[in-house]
Chains A and B, each alone.
Chain A
Amino acid sequence: MIGMYHFLTVAALLFSMGLLIALSKRNAIGVLMGVEIMLNAVNVTLLTFSRFSTTDTPVAGQTFVVMIITVAAAEAAVGLALAVSLYRNRQTIDVDQANLLRS
């Protein structure tokens, strides 16, 4: 039988995998991919709680996910624009080369 426990465990594993990608990748686009995976894992968690709990407002969890998807789309657009802008200035998108503020 598949319950809340299974969904939450998979979401937690997916989140830590996204964290590992976001923290360890050198490429700025790779870092963004990790952030997207983390957002997806959080969405799975929210929908699990929305599915397996009885509240007065059962649709609240799904509304949360709609908002998170919207913010994720905005974040991806701005983040990738930043990557392109970084490439224009430094000819690289490696985050450890982005040291313009270091004197």
Chain B
Amino acid sequence: MEGFGPAFAFWMLSLITLVAAGGVMVSRNLLHAVLFLIVTFVGVAGFFVLLSAEFLAMAQIIIYVGAIAVLVLFAILLTPRASRDNGETKMAAPAALLAAALGAVTVFVIHDTNWDRATESPNLAVSALGEALLNTWVLPFELASVLLTASLVGAIMLVRSPEEEAEDVLK
């Protein structure tokens, strides 16, 4: 990726994404953490554009920002008397140690590997992705819809109130 434009976009996106992820970590209020999470998702969508996966960037915005973030907000609103505190457990120090160790090892391995042979592949059209999903990988694609249906039914089962369940038993 040559030139000033991609490099500038990359560094700005890295800054925004990592700072927003840090914001999810440090913000004390759960609602502020969700707003930082949305910024992280948008930053990752920017990376997808930079990696010339435009369709996935759109999907990222629609699914993560439009659906998952709203779902998280709904979960917060549906638990009114629970604590809105975004604090840490007692195991925060070992967790920080583990995460730092993992990050250090991965960055070291990435740094130590020779990536010179990797070349940029030509841009993919969205139609290529559609063809791959509906020809080569049609079975996983259909399985994904089964999975979504199952998770939808499971989520509804989990959040049904006890009164509704009692009514169903009486019928």
Residues of A within 8 A of B (CB): 1-10, 12-21, 23-27, 29-30, 32-34, 36-37, 40-41, 43-44, 47-48, 50-55, 57-60, 62-63, 65-67, 69-78, 80-85, 87-88, 91-96
Contact = CB atoms under 8 A, between A and B. Distances in A.
A87 B78 contact: yes
A80 B110 contact: no
A16 B161 contact: no
A84 B144 CA distance: 25
B148 A70 contact: yes
A57 B140 CA distance: 16
A19 to B, nearest CB: 5
Interface of B: 1-2, 6-7, 10, 14, 17-18, 21-22, 24-25, 30, 33-34, 37, 40-41, 44, 47-48, 51-53, 55-56, 59-60, 63-64, 67-68, 71-72, 74-76, 78-79, 81-83, 85-92, 95-96, 98-100, 102-103, 106-107, 110-111, 115, 118-122, 124, 128-129, 131-133, 136-137, 140, 144, 147-148, 150-152, 154-156, 158-159, 161-162
B72 A33 contact: yes
A22 B56 CA distance: 25
Contacts of A7: 10, 47, 51
Given A30-B30, A77-B71, A5 B85 contact: no
Contacts of B136: 57, 63
Given A17-B18, A37-B40, A70 B79 contact: no
B148 to A, nearest CB: 6
A5 to B, nearest CB: 5
B155 A81 contact: yes
Nearest to A52: B118
Contact of A29 (B72, B119, B122): B72
Contacts of B129: 59, 62-63, 66
Give the 3 A-B CB pairs with smallest separation, nearest first.
Answer: A16-B103, A23-B95, A74-B151
A69 B59 CA distance: 8
A51 to B, nearest CB: 5
B95 to A, nearest CB: 4
Contact of A85 (B64, B82, B89, B158): B158
Given A40-B44, A63-B140, 13 more contacts: A2-B6, A14-B21, A23-B91, A24-B25, A24-B96, A25-B87, A26-B88, A33-B34, A51-B52, A51-B53, A66-B133, A69-B59, A76-B67
